[in-house]
Amino acid sequence: MSGAVSIRSAGVATITAPGSSRSTKNTQWNKPAASFSDLPSAAQTAAPAAGVLAEAVVTLRGAARDLGRLIQTRIGFRAYADRVVVLTVTRELRARDDGKLVPVGDWALAGAMTHKAARGTVAVHQAATVAVGAVASAVGDSTAAAPSRGAADAIDAEAYLPPSIREDLVAAVPAPSAHIGNLLRWPTTPTAHQEVRVLRLTAGKAVVVAADRPDRHNAAWTITKWTYLLAAPSSGSKSLPTRQPSRIIGPK
């Protein structure tokens, strides 16, 4: 594991009122976060560390059934100046006598999709420091089923971004086919900090946001955004289809 911690997703997306953001003031950071170092070597080959601008790895909540097997899934992305690579890794689980799900084997690469920038283009880079802004009322927050299993963590992470950044991100890619991201806290001092990493990708376009701030709920965010015009994707291996979770994996 990376040493970072995140919020334990409930598998639903938080809907935040326009013009406001969620606060990390009372956040329970209770989920160990995975990183690319936790992925198999085939994933490192498909998306090497050199040249990475931003990245995220998300362990999906729940397990999917595949030909009678229970499968746990992690999804991730690495963004470079000239491409974005989206990965899926999986491992088989089994149910013990007490009902708890435990791994049977190691993580294996299940899909790697490289989305190259259109010929003659590279990611357009923008950066700014943005204040937190109005804080959403917890009473006003509501939840809804996420469009896909992988989107819940990303939508939750976006809810903590300043409203202007979140609204710009959503407007740029309103209906992403790949939507991956998370909110992490790195608690180790003296460099303790919070970060958001989000990818929104659709045919022909992608936007990646990296937001960082000191480990304080009222600190301003340093925002970096990369916008891509994309060529047709090339596939390193066939991606698995999205399936609905069949049961919940307990805390690890």
All structural domains of the chain with their residue ranges:
5-237
Of the candidates 108, 76, 96, 68, the one whose C-alpha atom is nearest the C-alpha of residue 246 is: 68
* φ/ψ of residue 19, rounded to 5: 80, 5
129-141 pLDDT, tens digit per residue, is 999 877 765 544 5
The model's pTM: 0.85
Phi and psi at residue 213, in whole multiples of 5°?
Answer: -155, 160
- Alpha-carbon distance values, 251 to 154, 170, 242 (Å): 20, 31, 22
pLDDT tens by residue, 174-206: 999 999 999 999 998 788 999 999 999 999 999
Asked if residues 123 and 226 have their Cβ atoms less than 8 Å apart, the reply is yes
